[in-house]
Amino acid sequence: MRAARLHAREVLRVEEVPAPGVPPGHVKLRNAFSGICGSDLHLYYSPEATGLDLSKPHPLTGSLLPQILGHEFSGTVAEVGSGVDGVRPGDRAAVFPLYSCGQCAACARGRANACRLVGFHGLTSDGGGMAEFTTVTADRLHLLPDNVDLRMGALVEPMAVAWHAVTVSKVRPGQSAVIMGAGPIGIGVWFALRARGIDRVLVSEPSRLRREAVELLGAATVDPASADLPRAVDRLTGGAGADTAFDAAGAGPAFASLVPSLAPGGRGVIVAMHERPADFNPTALVMAETELAGALAYLPEDFDAVIAAMAQGAYNAQGWIQEMPMEDVRQAFETLRDARAVKILIAVG
């Protein structure tokens, strides 16, 4: 079968590899679409930024390079292993890719997403969505209803990251929110907020490309590089400040704007990874009794919630999704690195 395999920094080849088998309890998927995310870009261009030592087996999955990429993916069940019930060939599904140890303090508290040894199928495990086939345990499948296509199915994973962040925010219908950053996760936060009844939302984004993409979806935006962000927040909230704010940018200026955007008692959520430390005075939290929280990845219930919202029409891919064939995967990475696209799905089939 054809697969896009990472061999080393900036060495990614589409090549022929053996198709996987189907052990008991597993299903074999014919992959359809696989997204490229920031973690893939880090792994490709600057693996040291991931904190992983790619010269050693992953401590949980045991995988080594070369690695078939693709942890945001969807497909159709091609074959079912023995002992699997409730799944049939022809079923369409998104795949929950997260591996956790089940034993660390995070796992013991029901926070497998924060497992100390966390791994991801298609990032730090054998297999991945950028191949004609992959094999996963049947419990990783989240079946798609008839009105959610495979293209949207490949977006479930990144949208679940955003859905989880909105859960962490504790925002309620009728409240207000500010989103710093209109990349895929920022757009996902906007979708999740709207699906939960939060209509007063402002998106702060300096990139014209990304601003226009989220505006096409119906979002109100502000360019923090050329406009007055605090004034825009005041207009949104009547001068009260936002009930919640999200750092979906992972940049110092976005984080610096987060706490000042909050109302007294508001809650900020950091869902983006920062490569550099941020200069921050915690007194700003004390003076307004505001809170900061982190949000990492997702839990299985976030996948289910996103799929249900997709089935209700709360998501669409208009204007912010591009598709490229697997043969052009390296070009897709370059396009994203150069900020010439918001989100790219690799069409595998």
- The domain ranges of the chain are 2-155+317-347, 162-294
Copy the structure tokens of residue 212: 């226009």
- Residues 320 and 341: their CA atoms lie apart, in Å, by 8
pLDDT in tens, 206-244: 999 999 999 999 999 999 999 999 999 999 999 999 999
CB-based contact 221:211 (threshold 8 Å): yes
CB count within 10 Å of CB 19 equals 15
The answer to whether 272 and 249 have CB atoms below 8 angstroms apart is yes
Residues forming a β-bridge with 325: 347
Are 241 and 263 in contact by the 8 Å Cβ rule? The answer is yes
The two three-digit tokens of residue 89, written as one number: 């060939």
328-335, long-range: CB < 8 A, 24+ apart: 329/4, 329/12, 329/14, 329/36, 329/69, 329/130, 330/12, 332/36, 333/12, 333/36, 333/40, 333/41, 333/44, 333/45
Terminal Cα-to-Cα distance of the chain (whole angstroms):
11
- Write the CATH number of the domain with boundaries 162-294: 3.40.50.720
CA–CA distance, 135 with 137 (Å, rounded to integer): 7
* Pair type for strands 242-247 and 176-180: parallel
Q: Return the closest-CA partner of residue 336 out of 324, 347, 348, 327.
A: 324
**Beta-bridge partner residues of 99:** 119
Q: Would you say 72 and 158 are in contact if contact means Cβ atoms under 8 Å apart?
A: yes
- φ/ψ of 78, rounded to 5, equals -100, -30
Smallest CA-to-CA distance from 214 within 292, 318, 110 is with 318
Mean pLDDT across the chain, nearest whole number? Answer: 95
Q: How many helices (H) and strands (E) does the chain have?
A: 11, 18
Helices (H), ranges, the chain: 38-45, 105-108, 150-153, 156-169, 184-195, 208-217, 229-237, 252-258, 283-288, 300-311, 329-337
Mean pLDDT by 10 residues, the chain (349 residues): 95 96 97 95 84 84 94 98 95 98 96 95 94 97 98 98 98 97 97 97 97 96 95 96 96 92 97 86 92 97 98 95 97 96 95
**pLDDT for residue 115:** 97
**Rg (Cα) of the chain, in Å, rounded?**
20
Q: Residue 60: name the closest of 92, 97, 28 by CA.
A: 97
Hey, is 202 helix, strand or coil? strand
On whether the pTM is more than 0.75, the answer is: yes
Left if phi > 0, otherwise alpha if psi is -120 to 50, otherwise beta: which for 135?
Answer: beta
Name the CATH topology of 2-155+317-347: Quinone Oxidoreductase; Chain A, domain 1 (3.90.180)
Q: How far apart are CA 33 and CA 346, in angstroms?
A: 6
> Encoding tokens for residue 50?
């991931």
What the block records as the tokens of 13 is: 């080849």
Q: Measuring CA to CA, how many Å separate 25 from each of 82, 140, 290?
A: 6, 11, 47
Query: What single DSSP character describes residue 122?
Result: T
Integer CA distances (angstroms), 204 to 66, 127, 207, in order: 38, 37, 9
Pairing of strands 321-325, 343-347: parallel
Q: Determine the pLDDT at residue 275.
A: 79
